[in-house]
Structure 1
């Protein structure tokens, strides 16, 4: 099988994506007083409002023990708010405030501008193929994530 090659390509792609984030996305976030993690939280809440804190911390890769601090900072900046879940009053869900939504839109537009400098319109077909491949990889990883691997 091609496991070795797949592993190598994943490592290589991860490294290149990290460099892209450092060059293109992190400076824009910092320009608006946010960390990359904070922006990722805004992006997830923009995509799917009313997530529970545990769901959100898992999606953005922040340990639950650290998530409360990050959440509080975003609440202090009035970018997100929490409210009791309608179905279960014991838990609370998070959503963007109007200010949080507006800031997300601004940052996202700047990121799009920056990416337009990296990529041209000729890459549109490649993007479609890449997105299909990434969706397939995510589906596969989600399926196997449910299995517990030996340590």
Structure 2
């Protein structure tokens, strides 16, 4: 059965690639004292400055059970604040602190360092991002259709 060969699967090269690419981020993030998931949170907050946990979870495709302990650790490190909305106590707003905002400058070199460490051109990076995002969008749309 050729179809069941590992080399013929879509999932395996994507899984392995994700792990390998992420491993290139780790030494850079260690210098900043961030884990990879914390870096993803910071990327969103550097764009948005503050938003509710639900919105953050949607953007990162993470559930609140995964996100809450992560955000608690980040709050303990004074990178973010968590504040319940007065109008609806169930809604928790995540905001950057000054220390969190200050990390942005340190992180600004990461994309270029990743490009170099992976030995990719800007065109190759853009192609990979476009393909990955297109596939992710298709899967998200299929899931949306199935849930309705």
TM-score of the aligned structures, taking structure 2 as reference length: 0.74
Give 1:30's aligned residue: 30
Partners of 1:37 and 1:60 within 8 A in 2: no
Which range is displaced more, 36-45 or 54-63? Answer: 54-63
Consecutive unaligned residues in structure 1, runs of 5 or more: none
CA distance in 2, matches of 1:74, 1:50: 14
Tell me: CA distance 1:125–1:38, structure 2 relative to 1, closer, same or farther (3 Å). Answer: closer
Partners of 2:57 and 2:67 within 8 A in 1: yes
Q: How far 1:66 sits from its partner (Å)?
A: 4.1
Give 2:129's aligned residue: 131
Consecutive unaligned residues in structure 2, runs of 5 or more: none
CA distance in 2, matches of 1:39, 1:8: 30
Aligned-pair Cα RMSD in Å = 3.0
Question: How many pairs align?
Answer: 141
Q: How far 1:113 sits from its partner (Å)?
A: 1.9
Runs of 4+ with deviation above 4 angstroms: none
TM-score of the aligned structures, taking structure 1 as reference length: 0.73
Tell me: CA distance 1:142–1:127, structure 2 relative to 1, closer, same or farther (3 Å). Answer: same
1:27-81 Cα distance to aligned partner (Å, 9 max, x none): 2222222221211111122233322213323543544234322212111211111
